[in-house]
Amino acid sequence: DQQVKQNSPSLSVQEGRISILNCDYTNSMFDYFLWYKKYPAEGPTFLISISSIKDKNEDGRFTVFLNKSAKHLSLHIVPSQPGDSAVYFCAAKVNFNKFYFGSGTKLNVKP
């Protein structure tokens, strides 16, 4: 059951511009959402999270937006840098339970 979906397998953005990565979910019980970044041959690294009681969380160049009515999550990276090129996974969970991951979006930031 694919409860978390990332419908864009890849995204290409010019350096300095905004990158917007999207994620949709089906389970309205999810109360915690996260974004992870993964480089080849490494484990995913935590990037940013948001609780379901909020609709926005910002950390430097990274902002996560949550639209609960649309069951939609997005990650904005501004400005994008070549070092941001990686696969980005969104994840969600209900309280103290397992994480459900999307299939990932490969971001390529062109110099």
Cis bond upstream, residue 82 (ω within 30):
no
Q: How far is the CB of 42 from other proteins (least distance, A)?
A: 6
β-sheet bridge partners, residue 48: 35
Contact flags string 29-68 toward other proteins, x per CB under 8 A: ---x-x-x----xxxxxx--x-------------------
* DSSP strand pairing (105-110 vs 10-14): parallel
Residue from 30, 104, 107, 109 binding other proteins (CB under 8 A): 104
Residue 97 near other proteins by CB under 8 A:
yes
List contacts with other proteins (CB under 8 A). 6, 32, 34, 36, 41-46, 49, 89, 96-104
